[in-house]
Amino acid sequence: MGDMNEIFDLGRKTLGEVERRLDMSRRDYLQFCATLAVTMGLPSGAEAAVAKAIESAPRPSVIWLHFQECTGCTESLLRAEHPTLEKLILDVISLDYHETLMAAAGHQAEAARKDAMKAHKGKYVLVVEGAIPVKDNGIYCKVGGHTAIDLLKECAADAAAVIAIGSCASWGGMPSTGPNPTGASSVAEVLGKPVVTIPGCPPNPYNFLATVVHFLTFGKLPDVDKLGRPKFAYSRLIHENCERRAHFDAGRFAMEFGDAGHRQGYCLYKLGCKGPETYNNCSTLGFGDAGENNWPVGCGHPCIGCSEKGVGFIKPIHQVAKMLNVAPPLQYARIVEEQGKAASFASAAALAALAGAAAGAAVMLTRNLGLSHAAQQAQDAKAEGQAQDKARV
């Protein structure tokens, strides 16, 4: 932990107020700030600044638009449990217009949006959920008689920041899947300028919250990659930090849903897992505070690359992933050497280290994968034969 004194000084002044407002214990609140700071990749000690910003920065007005989508982004934000993420979100921001959550309807709702835009001109944050249909002058999505194109342009004109939440708003997502009859497009395409994107279908709510808290803490949005994604969340492939990675390295794969490998938690690559070509932090940050392993691969389903343009909803779910990074990891799980005939990953890595030939190691690694898998299949067949023999006796 960093400067706890500063946090506790702050605590003496204001944490009682936070406890009351959020119905959250001081310890939970401080832990939460530390988690957010770590999520953002901030150095040790930054949790004090985060706590202070949440506590004292004026809540930014947020106008949240919905277009072509399933409302999963909003649902995932509100379904989070302990420490009641939605409470914190609603405490950190002033959600002035949100069609799913607001009590107002019709003209009252329209008036709420206009009032918020006028009162916070140049200062509000515009969050957009859903793709924007541009075909036939945008007639396929209208709210209050206005096309999504017009609403987006109108609301973006005076926004301090624009955040595209979910894959639909970030790059078109599911609605843009071919033949894309409505011309579903991303926020950046329609506005003609880059925006911050938080892709995922749905995205992890922490990535949204951390982005907003970064804005509050530092007065600016976090560093992003060339697709507008916050680097703190999207700079690593899922495959790099996956809990099943040791099985991948050792060539242990689930070959069918429900087979022995699947039941033992083996790697899902051969079932089409797109972790090797998807940049996201799903493997390190569970969804919704519901406990460990609460993400697709953790639940036994291959990653479908829902956040990655050109992968999610485009590539067949069971097509094997393109390996974007085949560099050997620093450490290898031991292969089941008695099964294989070739060098194990461990010895391939050692050889690569000695020869300084990472590329060669990668080739050996790939070759070895096939061998170890073949060995696994041979062993499975043998075991099955033995079981049948036993049954016959």
Q: Note the residues at the interface with ligand SF4 (CB under 6 A).
A: 238-239, 242, 244-245, 248, 267-269, 273, 275-276, 297, 303
Q: Which stretch binds ligand FSX (CB under 6 A): 53-61, 65-73, 116-124, 276-284?
A: 65-73
Is 308 an interacting residue with respect to ligand FSX (CB under 6 A)?
no
> Based on the number of CB atoms within 10 Å of its own CB, is 329 exposed (0-12), middle (13-18) or buried (19 or more)?
middle
The 10 Å Cβ neighbour count of residue 338 is 7
DSSP 136: G
Task: Give the phi and the psi of residue 27 in degrees, each rounded to 5.
Answer: -60, -45
CB 277, CB 305: distance < 8 Å: yes
Is residue 53 within a helix (H) or strand (E), and if so which, with residue range?
A: helix 46-56
Residue 284 vs 339, nearer CB to ligand F3S = 284
Restricting to residues 236-275, name those near ligand F3S by CB under 6 A: 238
Binding residues for ligand F3S, total number by CB under 6 A: 13
DSSP 267: B
Residue 232 vs 295, nearer CB to ligand F3S = 295
Binding residues for ligand FSX, total number by CB under 6 A: 15
CB 283, CB 175: distance < 8 Å: no
Is 202 an interacting residue with respect to ligand FSX (CB under 6 A)?
yes
Is 251 an interacting residue with respect to ligand FSX (CB under 6 A)?
no
Is 198 an interacting residue with respect to ligand FSX (CB under 6 A)?
no
Residue 213 vs 303, nearer CB to ligand SF4 = 303
Residue 18 vs 169, nearer CB to ligand FSX = 169
Per partner kind, with CB cut-offs from 5 to 8 A, the member of ligand F3S, ligand SF4, ligand FSX, none near residue 69 is ligand FSX
DSSP string covering 222-240: PPB-TTS-BHHHHSSBGGG
CB of 77 to ligand SF4, least distance (A): 25
Unique residue bearing structure tokens 């000690």: 45
What is the spatial distance between Cα 40 and Cα 38, in angstroms, rounded to a whole number?
5
CB of 130 to ligand FSX, least distance (A): 5
Task: Give the phi and the psi of residue 180 in degrees, each rounded to 5.
Answer: 45, 65
**Best CA proximity match to 307, nearest among 205, 188, 168, 142:** 168
What is the spatial distance between Cα 101 and Cα 115, in angstroms, rounded to a whole number?
17
Q: Which stretch binds ligand FSX (CB under 6 A): 66-74, 139-147, 184-192, 314-322?
A: 66-74
DSSP 194: -
CB 136, CB 100: distance < 8 Å: no
Q: Which stretch binds ligand FSX (CB under 6 A): 33-41, 55-63, 94-102, 166-174?
A: 166-174
Restricting to residues 289-308, name those near ligand F3S by CB under 6 A: 295-297, 303-307
Binding site for ligand F3S (CB under 6 A): 200, 238, 278, 280, 282, 295-297, 303-307
Binding site for ligand FSX (CB under 6 A): 69-73, 129-130, 166-169, 173-174, 201-202
